[in-house]
Amino acid sequence: MAGVLKRNWRRRSREEWQEVFARHGSSGLSVTAFCARESISVSSFQRWRATVGPVCGKAVAGGATRKEAFVDLGVLGSGGTSRWELKLDLGDGVVLHLVRG
């Protein structure tokens, strides 16, 4: 058909999507710019990120545990004198802010 763009469609495994998300995280690009560079549709990127995005300590097949990332906050005393603050930029303007103490 004239005027129809032929797209190179490709099925990615969960592990390949994890690699895509890791590349995006280190790229410094917005989702739109990254997807354009990688020839990925933004809707597919967002759908897969919602289902298999960063996996930290979740159970996988065979009962094993995946540990993609770990933040060591050191020893936190129970006396209430320890204070920590953690900000995670999850992208698209979403920031998780945790404070203790």
Query: What pTM was computed for the model?
Result: 0.47
For the chain, what percent of residues have pLDDT higher than 90? 8
Distance CA 61, CA 29 (A): 32
Please name the helix (run of DSSP H) or strand (run of DSSP E) that holds residue 85, with its range, or none.
strand 84-91
CA distances from 75 to 57, 79, 82, 84 (A): 20, 12, 9, 11
Distance CA 21, CA 40 (A): 12
pLDDT band at 24 (very low <50, low <70, confident <90, very high): confident
Q: For 29-77, what is each residue's pLDDT tens digit?
A: 888 999 999 989 998 888 888 887 654 434 444 444 444 566 665 655 5
